[in-house]
Structure 1
Amino acid sequence: MFVTVEEDKCVAGGQCVVAAPEVFDQRDDDGVVILLHEKPPVEEFERVRTAATICPAAAIRLTESLPS
């Protein structure tokens, strides 16, 4: 699994951080998402899928191969 985020779409809701804190964080100044791991470990897949599903801005993209 590969994860990408669209920072310009992020509304700083923080749901991704709650769902998958090992993969996502937020900037201190504006709360915009920070991707910590573009290729998370298998143990994180379910949490990352949840984060993508609950993101209010749909700013998280998951792919099975490296995005081009």
Structure 2
Amino acid sequence: MKFALLAGLLALGALSQSAPAEAKGCIKGAIVGGVAGHMAGHGKMGAAAGCAVGHHNANKKDKQR
């Protein structure tokens, strides 16, 4: 539980330091995927998959507009 909290805080810190246009959807997806992956024992793979899915969904919403 402490790891998930620490990972969330680090991700929020990274979010405040990075450009939001480049990481559209990735940060949110990585946080959710990382926490879910951590619960299953595969935190890094969950974060990577969450980033990819979040970025894909953000691009799909932009194309619909």
Shared topology, TM-score over 0.5?
no
Greater strand fraction, Structure 1 or Structure 2: 1
User: Which of the two has higher C-alpha Rg?
Assistant: 2
TM-score of the two chains, using structure 2 as the length reference: 0.28
TM-score of the two chains, using structure 1 as the length reference: 0.28
